[in-house]
Amino acid sequence: MIELQALDKTYLLGTRPLHVLDQVSLSISAGEYIAITGPSGSGKSTLLNMIGLLDRPDSGRYLLNGQATEALSEEARATLRREHIGFIFQAFHLIPRLNAFENVALPLVLAELSRAQRRTRVADVMAQVGLADQVDQRPSQLSGGQMQRVATARAIVMQPDLLLADEPTGNLDQQSGLEVMALLESLNAQGMTLLLVTHDPVLAGRSKRQLSLVDGRIVSDVRR
């Protein structure tokens, strides 16, 4: 599903280069459940953003479902993201003035689905995340765990192949975090590929494969 070949990424801090990814090569099969770990600044989020087509490598190749992506236009990359990739972030990124239904429906609006299609899709995913009775609530009326469930519903409403989660439990209490992880793992059990960035060794230990990054390099790749 995913093939990374010698990816490099460097940012400039003033005049000083910062090598964030250094010759990263990686193969990921459909349906895998992978935790990406490592110290702060090791390149975890950059790697996730690269896989999610939010950033481009300076060199190297990235093939998604056999398609080379590094030279694609921004429009083509946006289409791939919309059709194949769901994102979940630590900070939820819900729009405060929109209710849960409207937040979840946003990708469907961008994809120009009809109102009837949007109603059906949103009802289905809100039931899937256990919030069928919260569609009219705005983010300020929801708990942290509920907001992350709404964010998860928005991430999966386009029925993506790949779900990318960057510290999805970082702003949650322990119980809410466990509930969100159970939800993500149920999606993986249904066939969705799940990549999770986490600092938490307990969460990482739940995965079926764990990658460890140090200074932009993969130093460990363990399958369980």
State the pLDDT at residue 26. Answer: 95
pLDDT in tens, 155-213: 999 999 999 999 998 888 888 888 889 999 999 999 999 999 999 999 999 999 999 99
Tokens 């609006």 appear where?
109
In 3-state terms, what secondary structure has residue 13? strand
What are the domain boundaries of the chain? 2-223
Q: Low-confidence residues of the chain, pLDDT below 70?
A: none
CA 15, 18, 23, 27 dihedral sign is negative
Query: What is the C-alpha to C-alpha distance for residues 154 and 101, in angstroms, rounded to an integer?
Result: 9
The pLDDT value recorded for residue 14 is 83
C-alpha 192/C-alpha 47 separation (Å) is 19
Number of alpha carbons in the 13 Å side-chain half-sphere of residue 73: 3
Per-residue confidence (pLDDT) for residue 91, from 0 to 100: 86
What's residue 224's pLDDT?
A: 87
- Classified as helix, coil or strand, 3 is strand
Task: State residue 70's pLDDT score.
Answer: 86
- Please count the residues of the chain: 224
Q: Supply the mean pLDDT for the chain.
A: 93
Shortest CA distance to 46 belongs to which of 38, 143, 155, 30? 38
Q: What is the DSSP letter of 43?
A: S
Q: What torsion do the CA atoms of 124, 91, 141, 107 make, to the nearest 10 degrees?
A: -30
Angle at 159 between CA 134 and CA 79, to 5 degrees: 115
The β-bridge relationship of strands 2-13 and 16-28 is antiparallel
| Residue 4, φ and ψ in degrees, nearest 5 | -105, 130
pTM, full prediction: 0.92
Superfamily of domain 2-223: P-loop containing nucleotide triphosphate hydrolases (3.40.50.300)
C-beta of residue 87 within 8 angstroms of C-beta of residue 31:
no
Reference 196, options 21, 20, 48, 22; nearest CA is: 48
